[in-house]
Amino acid sequence: MAVTKASAKFIKVSPRKVRQVLDLIRGRDVAAAEIVLAGLNKKSAYIIGKVLKSAVANAENNHSLERENLYISKICADQGPALKRSRAATMGRANMIKKRTSHVLLELDLRKDSKVKVKAEVKAKVKAKVKAKAKGGKK
C-alpha cells in the first residue's frame, strides 16, 4: 500500500485545540473530512484542511492514486515549542505566558475494499507485457 504523508509544523494553535478538530475527521474518507472541516468555525480546521489538500495532492502526483479511494489512516497533533512571553501583574510583577505551538501529521491510505486499481500498478503491468512481447519477438 502506498501511504501518503503531509505535515504542518509550528502552528500557532495549542495541540489541545487542534486535537478537538482531529477527532472529528479521524478515519473518514477525504471527501467526508473536507465537508466536516468546511463546516467548522475554528482556526485549526482551516489549517488541517490545507494539510489534507496537500496530502491528497501528494497522493495524486507522487503515487498516482485516486482521491475517491483515499481515507485518513493516521492523524495526530504533537506539541511544538512554546513561545514564552511575560504579562504585567500586580505590584510590578510579571507572570509567564506560554504561547503553545503544535505539529500536525496526516497520513492517507487506500481503502482495502476498493476494487479500483492504482494507475501506477496498471502502467507497470502494461510495460512489463510490452517488454516481454518485445523480447519474445526478437528471438
- How far separated are the first and last CA of the chain, in Å rounded? 37
The span from the CA of 97 to the CA of 116, in Å, is 52
Quote the mean pLDDT of the chain.
89
The span from the CA of 78 to the CA of 15, in Å, is 6
Residue pLDDT, tens place only, 86-110: 999 999 999 999 999 999 999 999 9
- State residue 29's pLDDT score: 95
76: which strand partners? 105
CATH 3.90.470.10 assigned to 4-112: yes
The span from the CA of 118 to the CA of 120, in Å, is 6
What average pLDDT does this structure show over 55-70? 93
Torsion angle of the four alpha carbons 72, 100, 83, 79, in this order, in degrees rounded to the nearest 10: -50
Q: What are the boundaries of each domain within the chain?
A: 4-112
Residue pLDDT, tens place only, 9-28: 999 999 999 999 999 999 99
Residue 110 has φ and ψ, to the nearest 5°, of -80, 145
Position 76, amino acid: C
